[in-house]
Amino acid sequence: MTATTTSVDEPDQLDPQPPRASRATRLLRGLVPAAVAALSGVLLYVSFPPRTLWWLALPAFGALAWCLRGRTWKAGLGLGYLFGLGFLLPLLVWTGVEVGPGPWLALAAVEAVFVALVGAGIAAVSRLPGYPLWAAALWIAGEAARARVPFSGFPWGKIAFGQADGVFLPLAALGGTPVLGFAVVLCGFGLYEVVRQVVDVRATRVLHRGAAAAAALAVLVPVLGSFASRPLVSDEAEDGTATVAAVQGNVPRAGLGFNAQRRAVLDHHVRETERLAAEVKAGKVARPDLVLWPENSSDIDPFANPDARLAIESAVKAIGAPVSVGGVVENKNGKLYNEQILWDPKKGPTDTYDKRQIQPFGEYIPLRSLVSAFSSDVDKVRRDFSRGTDPGVFTMAGTKVGIATCYEAAFDWAVRDTVTNGAQIISVPSNNATFDRSEMTYQQLAMSRIRAVEHSRAVVVPVTSGVSAVIMPDGKIRSKTTWYTADSLVEEVPLRSSETPGTRLGVLPEGILVLIAAGGLGWAVTSAARARKSAGK
């Protein structure tokens, strides 16, 4: 008799299934990219002044690339936000020096949203060929948006502003801050791709030549471009030279009460100018052709207060040169302006420049009635400043001096149009006493160094309380003051009238990079839609 057997699948005969990851493992997989994203943002912050560790921006973006590659856009949004917080929270801590942590935390939280959106975009394009190109263009598109909205933008923390000591600096003369920043981000993402390609080749023994070439180019092109741009950086005097003096009178106290004592700040600057005049008369210091005072160096309106006017006139006559005086001025219509006044030793006040890019929540309160419901700190800005309309270019002893007041140095257009209107040197009068000894002063000083190379102009930075500086057109600091001391800098600087490609091109490089970013996003979205359609079939 033949026995019949029936095959029954036993559990151990089933096809093996991949083991499910434990809850702890899944949690770890989620936490590691989040931690790396936040820490790489901190690493980017460390690359900024006052430190000279500019090169840390490259591994910071390399680590961000590792976090975002192959992720969904939603994951990219969250990881990008963590990167943004890691970068911006320490970078902007100075904004809460006098008013507490509320405004600082709110500003960093809002600005990090732009970085989050960039992170979502980078995750979306991360599967495209030439990934570093699209990623770097998206970063610059995010910076372009941050520099414009909300409330006319806040470009503080542009990648270019951390590169004053870096090898990529000459690219500022080629295409301004967008090209400089693009090169740094491209190189950082390119380095990640190079490492990834090497790891893949070791694992698979297969070299994808196209991808490897794209990764290598992402690193080499920015480096070679920076060396090729070096001839654009020059200290040669094209229109002769001028001897300039930057006066730092100091303030009686730091913080929001820097001008609480009537006329004290003005008197400090008058005394320092008269001291300088005595040294010039004694032959100890070269006679300046022009003198630059800081923003708010006259803490009361010299047009409305005869005693302030007489004090200024005394100082100007003593030094015997035209002086650019910073003051808070109310015009006949009752509008308040942050103004630079050109004061001639014989003619008196002859020209003015009203600050155009005024600082939200510092010089004016947007949505005042709404914001006051959440914070009484808005009452510290009792009156809103009005905006100027015309570029500031003073003719001082035959030299055309472009004026970009303090906060304006962060905005590309506010510096560029002084040069396109004929400025041979640039002055950035500032009042940093409100922010005490924070990193804000060094971050702003680095911006002025970038502007010097971008437009090939000497830049003079007179500051009420420090740090004042004279910067050459190659971005190097010729001389500078120390914190909270009354001092003057007198230097001979080259006068230049030629325009760099960065000056001539204006917003064009930034516009092209934004279009590249849009093209990459469009390609990524189209590819994803096709993939879903194919999967559905």
Catalogue the active-site residues: 295, 355, 406
* CA nearest neighbour of 156 among 528, 405, 412: 412
H or E, element range at 220:
helix 209-228
What is the Cα–Cα distance from 433 to 156, expressed in whole angstroms? 18
H or E, element range at 134:
helix 131-146
450 in Cβ contact with 475 (< 8 Å) = yes
For residue 197, how many C-alpha atoms fall within 13 Å in the half-sphere facing its CB? 19
463 in Cβ contact with 441 (< 8 Å) = yes
What is the Cα–Cα distance from 402 to 395, expressed in whole angstroms? 9
* CA nearest neighbour of 361 among 372, 352, 350: 372
* CA nearest neighbour of 147 among 490, 482, 438, 415: 415
What is the Cα–Cα distance from 205 to 134, expressed in whole angstroms? 28
With H, G, I as helix, E, B as strand and everything else as coil, classify residue 301: coil
189 in Cβ contact with 132 (< 8 Å) = yes
- Cis preceding-peptide flag for 493 (omega within 30 of 0): no
For residue 197 the two structure tokens come to 């390609």
| Number of alpha helices (DSSP H) and beta strands (DSSP E) in the chain | 14, 12
* CA nearest neighbour of 326 among 427, 442, 477: 427
Please name the amino acid found at residue 424: Q
35 in Cβ contact with 85 (< 8 Å) = no
Q: How many CB atoms lie within 10 A of CB 397?
A: 15
* CA nearest neighbour of 395 among 368, 418, 414, 375: 418
What is the Cα–Cα distance from 349 to 303, expressed in whole angstroms? 10
* CA nearest neighbour of 299 among 334, 337, 331, 267: 267
154 in Cβ contact with 107 (< 8 Å) = yes
How wide is the angle at C-alpha 350 spanned by C-alphas 347 and 356, nearest 5°? 160
R_g of the chain computed on alpha carbons: 28
Judged on CB neighbours under 10 Å (0-12, 13-18, 19+), 14 is exposed
Q: How many CB atoms lie within 10 A of CB 437?
A: 14
- Cis preceding-peptide flag for 129 (omega within 30 of 0): no
420 in Cβ contact with 503 (< 8 Å) = yes
